[in-house]
Structure 1
Amino acid sequence: MTGTDSSSSSTNTPHTDKQPLHPAYTVTNINNKIRTLDGKKVKYSAWVKLFKLHARAYKVLHHIDGTDAPAKIDPTFFVWSEIDALILQWIYSTLSDVLLARVLDIEITARAAWTKIQEIFLNNKQARSVTLETKFTYTTLSSCASFDEYCQTLRYLAEQLADVDQPVSESRLVIQMICGLLVEFDTIAAIINEKKPTWITARGIL
C-alpha cells in the first residue's frame, strides 16, 4: 500500500519545465553598453562594431545579420518575434533624435531597421568615398586642436572609407599620419618611416 501510494504521489506530481531566461532579457540599460549614433561624435562604423559585439554577447546577432526568421507557423516564431522586438528597441534607443525620426517604424523587424540605417550611411558610396579620401589626404596636425584629435580624426576617416569599400591599410594610415605632421617632427618621422611600425607603435613614438 505504501509503495502504491508513493508511486501514485510521484505520478500525480506536476512537472514544470521552465525555459531558461534568454540573455537578452537581462539587459537593463542598453545605453550603458552602446553609445548613441549621431554620425558626428559617434560614427556609424563605431556604432556597428559596438552593437554587433553586444548582440553577439547576448546571443541575438542572428536578428541583424541577415539570418532568415523562422516561419510564422514555426513553434519558435512567437519567442523569436518577442526577442526581435526587444532588439528593435535596442536599435531605436541608441539612435539620435534625428536618425530615430527617419527610421522609426514599429511594424518592421530589427533586421529591417538595421538595413535602413545602413542605407542612410552607405548610400552613394562613390561620392562619399571621394569626399572621405580628400579629407583623409588633407587632414594635418595643424588642422586639429591636438595630436590626439589628429590621430582620432585619421582613424575615423579610415573606418568610414572601409564602410564605403575603400579600406585603408595600417601602413598607409601610418604614412598619412607622418605626412600631416609639422616640420619639427621631421627627424622622428624619418625614424618611423625607416622602422615601418604598426599604427599603435608609431603613435606611441610620436
Structure 2
Amino acid sequence: MVCDDLKDLVMENSTSAFAAWTALQHFFLDNRAAQAMFLDKEFGNTVRGEPATCPSPNTTTASNRSLTQSLADVDEPVKDPTLTMYVIDSLGKKFEVQAEIIQSLGKFPTFAQARSRLMLAEASMAKKARNESAQALFV
C-alpha cells in the first residue's frame, strides 16, 4: 500500500500502472548513491574499541551487520573479511585476548565464525564472574 502523499506525487503525471511503478522506482532508487555514501561514512566512523559505547561483541556485530545490510540494499555490499576486521577492531580491552587469538589464526575467520567465538568468550566471562561473585558471598 502506498501512502496518499506518495500516491498523489507518483500519479500526478502517470497515465498507466507501468508509469506509476516506474515513478515509484525512481522515487526510491534515485538517491541510492547519496545513501550509499552516507551509510559508508557511518560504517567507517563506527566507534571502535570503547567499552562504554561497544559493551559487548553481540551489540557490536549486530550494529555492523545492520549497516552492512543497508549498504547491500543500495548495491554497495561490504565483503565478509572487511566486516570481520571492523568487528575485531571494535572490541575493547575486555576482549583484547580474543581479538589477538582471532587475528593469529592461520585462516582469517568469516564474520559468523568470529562472532561465534566472541559470543562464546563473552558467555564464558559472564559465567566466571557469576562464580567469583558466588564464591565471594561464602567467604
Give the TM-score taking structure 2 as reference length. Answer: 0.59
Matched residue type, 2:97: T
Structure 1 residues 119 and 159: CA distance shift in structure 2, 3 A:
farther
CA spacing shift, 1:194–1:145, aligned 2, 3 Å: closer
Q: Which moved more, 1:139-148 or 1:184-193?
A: 139-148
Which residue matches 1:199? 111
Instruction: Choose between structure 1 and 2: higher helix proportion.
Output: 2
Question: Percent identity between the aligned chains?
Answer: 30
Q: How does 1:1-206 map to 2 (within 5 A)?
A: 92=1, 100-104=3-7, 108=17, 112=21, 116=24, 118-140=25-47, 142-143=52-53, 147-195=57-105, 196-206=108-118
1:107-138 Cα deviation digits (max 9, x unpaired):
736x927x72x544432233222211121122
Unaligned runs of 5+ in 1: 1-91, 93-98
**Which AA in structure 2 matches 1:149?**
T
Q: Judging changes above 3 Å, is the alpha-carbon distance between structure 1 residues 190 and 112 closer, same or farther for their aligned structure 2 residues?
A: same
- Contact 1:140/1:181, CA 8 A, preserved across alignment: no
- SS in structure 2 of the partner of residue 143 of structure 1: coil
Contact 1:174 1:202 in 2 (8 A): yes
Q: Write the distance in 2 (CA, Å) between the matches of 1:121 and 1:148.
A: 31
Q: CA deviation at 1:100?
A: 2.6
Residue 171 of structure 1, CA deviation: 0.6
Cα contact 2:36–2:74 (8 A) shared by 1: yes
- Cα 1:172/1:112, change in 2 over 3 Å: same
Q: Provide the rounded CA distance (Å) in 1 between the counterparts of 2:83 and 2:58.
A: 15
Distance 2:44 2:63 in 1: 11
Q: What are structure 2's unaligned runs of at least 5 residues?
A: 119-139
Aligned residues: 106
RMSD of aligned residue pairs (Cα, Å): 3.0
1:140–1:150 contact (8 Å) kept in structure 2: no
Q: Taking CA–CA contacts closer than 8 Å with sequence separation of 6 or more, which of the two structures ends up with the larger relative contact order?
A: 2
Q: TM-score, normalised by structure 1?
A: 0.42
Asked which structure has the greater CA Rg, the reply is 1
Q: CA deviation at 1:175?
A: 0.6
In structure 1, what is the Cα distance between the partners aligned to 2:54 and 2:96? 18
Structure 1 Cα separation of the partners of residues 112 and 91 of structure 2: 16
